[in-house]
Amino acid sequence: MIPPRLIPVLLIDRDRRVVKTVNFGERTYIGDPFNIIRLFNEKQVDEICVLDIDATRDGRVPDFGFAAALGAECFMPLSYGGGIATIDHARRLITDGIEKLILRSHIDNQLIGAVAHEFGAQAVVGCLDYRIVGKQRLVEPRNIPLEIEAARLARAGVGELILQSIDLDGTRAGMDIEGIAAIAPCLSVPVIALGGAGEVHHLKSAVMAGADAGASGSAFAFIGRLRAVLISYPDYSERLETNSA
């Protein structure tokens, strides 16, 4: 039996520090990204997702040298997002050793298709950041229903989709199980659930609801109610248990 993927997420700020956000706002410093990656190497994590959360808002291109250095440090596949806006950005990152590129929901179909055509769908991960408004889940920044945007990115050529709940980000209260259960089975591409996990059992619940993988920053960075920083990752037997009901 193959355990589902459990993916640590490293949020990188403009100062190249790993931070953890709450509802995409308040930030807590976690540590140096290279030290954290070395710890995850020792723990044999499935893969790592790195998101430069300030690149787009600062109007910057990807931090190519930094991304390449992170990739060289990783013993596992690395997904990278932040500031990717052209096919040339994508080419440079892939050439520098990044296995997967994370493209946010504002990216148009043309770029998604171009990257998928040149490097394969497996190299393209779409990321949809959404809020729950009434009975709807709306993707920012254009407030399009989540199921519509998810279907658009799947048709455009992404190989995977990250569904990230802004409302649950950093809360450690559990993931959007209702949303995952409603949307994941309707999609033709694997779904990675992100947002709200504080424990491994939260990721298990997301997988049982239909996600193909569970991702988190908090679940692998904090311990206890006081949010003490402790980098952790379940061993193989614990991950196998994620397959069981």
Task: Residue 126: name the closest of 49, 178, 179 by CA.
Answer: 49
Give the count of beta carbons closer than 10 Å to the beta carbon of residue 122: 12
pLDDT band for position 227 (50/70/90)?
confident
Maximal C-alpha separation, the chain: 46
Q: Average pLDDT for residues 197-215, to the nearest whole number? A: 95
- Please say if the pLDDT value at position 244 is more than 60: no
pLDDT band for position 245 (50/70/90)?
very low
Residues 6+ apart with CB under 8 A from 64: 92, 93, 96
Which listed residue (52, 54, 63, 129) is catalytic? 129
pLDDT band for position 235 (50/70/90)?
confident
Q: Please state whether 157 falls in left (phi above 0), alpha (psi between -120 and 50) or beta.
A: left
Q: Average pLDDT for residues 210-225, to the nearest whole number? A: 91
Query: Model confidence over 107-164: pLDDT tens digits?
Result: 789 999 999 999 999 999 999 999 999 999 999 988 999 999 999 999 999 999 999 9
Is 176 an active-site residue?
no
The pTM score is 0.94
Token pair in block for residue 193? 């659930």
CB 112 within 8 A of CB 150: no
Q: Look up residue 186 and give its DSSP letter.
A: G
Token pair in block for residue 36? 């954290």
CA distance 30 to 198: 15
Inter-CA distances, 111 with 47, 102, 142, 205, Å: 24, 12, 18, 33
